[in-house]
Amino acid sequence: MTHMSRLSRTILTALSAAIVVAAAVGSSSARNLSASSQNLRATWAGLELINTVNSVTVRCPVTLEGSFHSRTLVKVASSLTGLITRAILNSGACTNGRATLLVETLPWHLTYEGFTGRLPSIQSIKFSLIGLAFGIEIPGTNNCLAVSTTEEPASGMATLGAGGVVVGLRSDETRRIRLRDAPGGFFCGLGSGSFAGTGGLTVLGTTNSVSITLI
């Protein structure tokens, strides 16, 4: 074997080892997500609650508070990530009807569902809320209730900006939750409810932004 052949073989071996190490590091770094805070507050100035029975949309200010179980979030679909422990809906400020959040059903489960974008550049994180119970009342028509489940979750996504800063929340209005009759309601079972609208996410008790990054 010539000196040049030995040198080429040594270089190829070194490059192969470097590629393997880089792949392992890249795989490891893409395995989890890190949140800058465990304690969260999500707010919507006008969250839309849609009742498909009569095609009515009620808009209400909504605040949800809770926490991640850990600042390290495992990227496994449908994994339990945190809890919503407090929910506020100002029914008196609703337009086009009334809505309520059934806070007696708290806590609600927050699950990780996936992301958009291509690693390592994640554009948004998808979450679902399981156990969320709400009512939609349309004066003079009907009164309906709904509870989100693993099969019919309330879902949305956190949009990420530079440095992983959460720059907004967007509800997934395509996710439908079956309705049922509340007292004074009728024909609710013929339709479904869903959420729409954009909101914001901050560290609980502050105005500081929340960041979610790959680790």
Q: Does 204 share its domain with 114?
A: yes
The answer to whether 147 and 110 have CB atoms below 8 angstroms apart is no
Q: What is the 3-state secondary structure (H, E, C) of 94-137?
A: CECCEEEECHHHCCEEEEEEEEEEECCEEEEEEEEEECCEEEEE
Look at the alpha carbons of 90, 67, 132, 155 in this order and tell me if their dihedral is positive or negative: positive
**Average pLDDT score over residue span 86-96:** 95
Q: Mean pLDDT over all residues of the chain?
A: 87
**Average pLDDT score over residue span 113-125:** 93
Q: Does 24 share its domain with 49?
A: no
Percentage of the residues of the chain whose pLDDT score is greater than 90: 72
- Amino acid identity for residue 198 in this structure: T
Look at the alpha carbons of 90, 91, 92, 96 in this order and tell me if their dihedral is positive or negative: positive
Q: Does 74 share its domain with 6?
A: no
Percentage of the residues of the chain whose pLDDT score is greater than 70: 85
pLDDT of residue 30: 58
130 is in which domain, residue-wise? 31-214
The HSE-up count of residue 5 (CA atoms within 13 Å, CB side) is 2
pLDDT beyond 60 at 24:
no
Q: Does 66 share its domain with 2?
A: no
Q: Does 4 share its domain with 71?
A: no
Q: Cα 212 to the chain's mean position, in Å?
A: 12
| 186-206 confidence digits (pLDDT tens) | 888 889 999 999 999 999 999
**Average pLDDT score over residue span 20-29:** 41
Q: Does 169 share its domain with 101?
A: yes
| 33-82 confidence digits (pLDDT tens) | 999 999 999 999 999 999 888 888 999 999 999 999 999 999 999 999 99
pTM: 0.83
Q: Does 22 share its domain with 84?
A: no
Q: Does 39 share its domain with 1?
A: no
Q: Does 183 share its domain with 156?
A: yes
pLDDT of residue 9: 55
Q: Does 49 share its domain with 121?
A: yes
Domain count for the chain, please give it: 2
**Average pLDDT score over residue span 97-101:** 93
Q: Does 43 share its domain with 3?
A: no
Q: Does 87 share its domain with 165?
A: yes
